Amino acid sequence: MPKGLPLIGHVLSFAKDPSGYLLQITKEHGDVVNMNFGPRGMTLITRPSLVALVLRDQAKKFKKPYRGFPALNALIGNGLLSSDGDFWLRQRRLSQPAFHREKIRAYAETMRTFTLRSLEQIPTELDLFEFLNTLTLEIVAKTLFNADLRGQSNRIGQALEEALLANRAQMAQPIPLPLSIPLPGHQRLKKAIGELDSIVFEMIQNERQNPSEFSLLSMLVAARDEDGSAMTDAQLRDEALTLLLAGHETTANALAWTFHLLLKHPDILAKASAEARSILGKDGCHLEDIGKFPLLKQIWQETLRLYPPAWSIGRTSLEDIQIGEYSIPKGQNIMLSQYVTHRNAEFFPDPEAFKPERWIEGFEKSLPDYAYFPFSAGPRVCIGNTFSEMEGMILLSTILAKVDFAKAADYKVEIYASLTMRPKNGLSVTTKSKAD
Ligand code: HEM
């Protein structure tokens, strides 16, 4: 085991700025650091060859740690993101067809039309992050659940927000406190989860009464075990909430960070808008346009390097394991961090700089495995990676083609790292719609 860091200062620094702290200790102590995180030991591993051992080569020797975090557990229970072993494999196989390339291509039209619809009423001053969150939530609800969340997305967004706040507080507790302790944050969380449950159970109820021709929910509702038993409502609820959460916030974050970086680099923003406008007409980005934006693609890849929405990944060892030269005991918590690994100057010269041009043809292939892994890789790779990349291109190009942005007077962006990495104060901008 690598040498440990002292407990107290370390927990406080992590609580204050999780991603910044992990970067700092990696710079100071190397790419494998043992953090004495109270009774829960935590080893931070950021060297790509070792990350590959955890996520791919020895993946079966690890489980997900989420069940140990009561806030997250109450939110997503035993859904695809948090379940393990044979149970996870079965649920993954059931869900996978909804993410096949052909299915995803059919979602492009919803992504385009929903974007155009939301741009019709875009105010001249707004929080662009909130706007993107609403849009991606409506898209994932329509594409995967055939549900129209217009008018409800604010309620859902606020409830998810409460859950993420409670999770952030628990990430920094050496032993996460059970929700039965009546802290104000816990009370708010329970109320928020009650709201989310009522919306999701209603979706399930609707699906049972009026089965849709095709949706992920319809497939899950229709699925039968070998013994003929169907998924319980409780399991359907966990899967649905997992996908609603994982399927919108991450992409909204990626887009919000993209706009943040573009606003910081007006020269690149101008070129990106010009690229979008040279290709697209007034009806936005169709499926066949997606491959026509080389600069936007580079910008998207560079954004996911600098601000990976899934900025860290946790695992717990199921047995004693050798990871490179390190012996990891059974029950050890492991943390991997895309945010830190993506800032390794060996692979990304001038790592803090926003340089879309580094993603020239062949650059990604030249990197060692797991030097760049915004969607992870291996058996637990993000099920929504193709969905998200398509959504990113459609929304980014359509918005850039139709709207000009500038920072508002109160624009102030900081990193907020909880389960995901998002801009802390949102993205306060002014807009000017381009004449058609
Ligand atoms: C930029 C956007 C996205 C990023 C950066 C991202 C990243 C990730 C990462 C890193 C994981 C692995 C987590 C782990 O192993 O602990 C993951 C898993 C997952 N993602 Fe995504 N994701 C994105 C978008 C989406 C979308 C759009 C969906 C659904 C529509 C989705 C659904 C999921 C699910 C269900 C899992 C769990 C998969 C499993 O373990 O089988 N994600 N995502």
pLDDT digits (tens, 9 = 90+) for 307-364: 999 999 999 999 999 998 999 999 999 999 999 999 999 999 999 999 999 999 999 9
The alpha carbon of 130 is separated from its chain's Cα centroid by a whole number of angstroms, namely 15
Q: What mean pLDDT is reported for the chain?
A: 90
**Whose CA is closest to atom 41 on ligand 1?**
380
- For residue 410, what is the domain's CATH number? 1.10.630.10
Phi, psi (deg, nearest 5) at residue 265: -130, 80
Would the CB of 246 count as within 6 Å of ligand 1? Answer: yes
- Rounded to the nearest 5 percent, the helix, strand and coil shares of the chain are 55, 10, 35
Report yes or no: 38 and 45 within 8 Å, Cβ to Cβ. no
Instruction: Report the nearest atom of ligand 1 relative to the CA of 387.
Output: 27
Mutational pocket test of ligand 1: of 138, 250, 251, 421, the residue with most ligand atoms within 8 Å of the beta carbon: 250
Per-residue pLDDT at 6: 60
Per-residue pLDDT at 160: 81
Query: Is pLDDT larger for residue 301 or for residue 36?
Result: 301
Residue 268 parent element (H or E) = helix 266-279
**Whose CA is closest to atom 15 on ligand 1?**
380
Distances (CA, A) of 34 to 10, 99, 418: 11, 37, 21
Would the CB of 243 count as within 6 Å of ligand 1? Answer: yes
**pLDDT, mean of residues 227-254:** 91
**pLDDT, mean of residues 121-138:** 94
Report yes or no: 342 and 307 within 8 Å, Cβ to Cβ. no
The proportion of the chain whose per-residue pLDDT surpasses 70, expressed as a percent, equals 96
Per-residue pLDDT at 276: 98
Range of the domain at 236: 4-433
Mutational pocket test of ligand 1: of 382, 388, 390, the residue with most ligand atoms within 8 Å of the beta carbon: 382
**DSSP structure string for 282-345:** TT---GGGGGG-HHHHHHHHHHHHHS-SS--EEEEESS-EEETTEEE-TT-EEEE-HHHHTT-T
Token pair of 253 as six digits: 């974050």
Q: Does pLDDT of 4 surpass 60?
A: no
Instruction: Report the nearest atom of ligand 1 relative to the CA of 55.
Output: 15
What is the total count of domains within the chain? Answer: 1
Other CB atoms closer than 10 Å to residue 196's CB: what's the count? 21
Would the CB of 395 count as within 6 Å of ligand 1? Answer: no
Report yes or no: 19 and 421 within 8 Å, Cβ to Cβ. yes
pLDDT grade for 132, boundaries at 50, 70 and 90 = very high
Distances (CA, A) of 176 to 43, 129, 169: 18, 29, 9
Q: Could you give the CA distance from residue 388 to residue 392 in angstroms, rounded to a whole number? A: 6
pLDDT tens readout for residues 360-407: 999 999 999 999 999 999 999 999 999 999 999 999 999 999 999 999
Query: Is pLDDT larger for residue 365 or for residue 36?
Result: 365
pLDDT tens readout for residues 66-89: 766 788 888 889 999 999 999 999
406 C-alpha vs ligand 1 centroid, how far in Å?
31
Q: Does pLDDT of 283 surpass 60?
A: yes
**Whose CA is closest to atom 17 on ligand 1?**
382
- Side-chain-side CA neighbours of 287 within 13 Å: the count stands at 12
**Whose CA is closest to atom 29 on ligand 1?**
247
**pLDDT, mean of residues 130-154:** 89
The alpha carbon of 408 is separated from its chain's Cα centroid by a whole number of angstroms, namely 26
pLDDT grade for 40, boundaries at 50, 70 and 90 = low
Instruction: Give the dihedral sign, CA 248/254/260/263.
Output: negative
pTM, two decimal places: 0.94
Phi, psi (deg, nearest 5) at residue 405: -120, 150
Q: Could you give the CA distance from residue 436 to residue 426 in angstroms, rounded to a whole number? A: 28
Q: Does pLDDT of 1 surpass 60?
A: no
